[in-house]
Structure 1
Amino acid sequence: GLIGKQPSAEMERKYSNETQVTPQTPPAFIFTCQDDRAVHPDNSIRYYQALMRNGVPSQLHIYPKGGHGYGKRFTFPYTEQLQYLLTDFLNEQLSK
């Protein structure tokens, strides 16, 4: 894992995004891939659920493939769709 093979409960709590969410957390646009081997999509799902529980505007998109680090690769098969969705989300947040 990102914080070691056997992190303490305190480290897991401190470094888990979903435990840090409050109603003041900024809006979030989250995207991940099912085949991400570095950060499992469950992390994004838990973060999204915490945002929803706190009334924070957010979107979660899970793509079937793309691995990890696709934001810096031009081979990500969903780039156009992702750019459209992100632009729409940002425009919506700016209009509030």
Structure 2
Amino acid sequence: MYFISGVDIVVRDLTRHTHHSAWHTMHNVICGGARAQDRNLEALAAAGVPVRVVHGDADQVVPVECSSRHLKSKLPHAELRVVGGRDHRTVVFGREEELAQELRAF
């Protein structure tokens, strides 16, 4: 059997996890990844680049407390828009026109 470099290690590692531990590992990677971007976010803030963060309040892939609130702490002038009843996918899908209008207005 042939594997793409590193993929076999990742697959083997993932299969050793329970659903619970895999979820927490992914969650930590996502949250940790957001924190790794702090210098970039601070540069955007210093440059005064306008930013709007649109996030679903029911997002379980990237929870609001990990992503949007962290971004907002690094970009204090960013607009944080938490959309009620929407998750990671439905914050966009099913409300494309509304989101497009919102972004155009921004």
TM-score of the two chains, using structure 2 as the length reference: 0.54
How far, CA to CA, are the matches of 1:25 and 1:2 in structure 2? 35
Sequence identity of aligned pairs in percent? 14
Q: What letter is aligned with 1:19?
A: D
Equivalent residue pairs, number: 78
Q: What is the deviation of 1:61?
A: 0.5
1:39-54 matches, cutoff 5 A = 39-42=62-65, 43-52=67-76
Match among 18, 28, 34 for residue 16 of structure 1: 34
TM-score of the two chains, using structure 1 as the length reference: 0.58
**Contact 2:53–2:68, Cα closer than 8 Å, also in 1:** yes
Query: Per-residue CA shift, 1:33-68, capped at 9, x if unaligned?
Result: 11111010112012012111xxxx521100111211
Q: Which runs of 4+ in 1 moved over 6 A?
A: none
1:16 is paired with a residue whose SS is helix
**Taking structure 1 as reference, are residues 6 and 65 closer, same or farther at Cα in structure 2, changes over 3 Å only?**
closer
Structure index of larger Rg: 2
Structure 1: state its 5+ residue gaps: 90-96
RMSD: 3.3
Name the residue aligned to 1:92: none
Structure 2: state its 5+ residue gaps: 1-21
Q: What is the deviation of 1:19?
A: 2.1
**Taking structure 1 as reference, are residues 49 and 33 closer, same or farther at Cα in structure 2, changes over 3 Å only?**
same
More helix by share: 2
**Taking structure 1 as reference, are residues 3 and 87 closer, same or farther at Cα in structure 2, changes over 3 Å only?**
farther
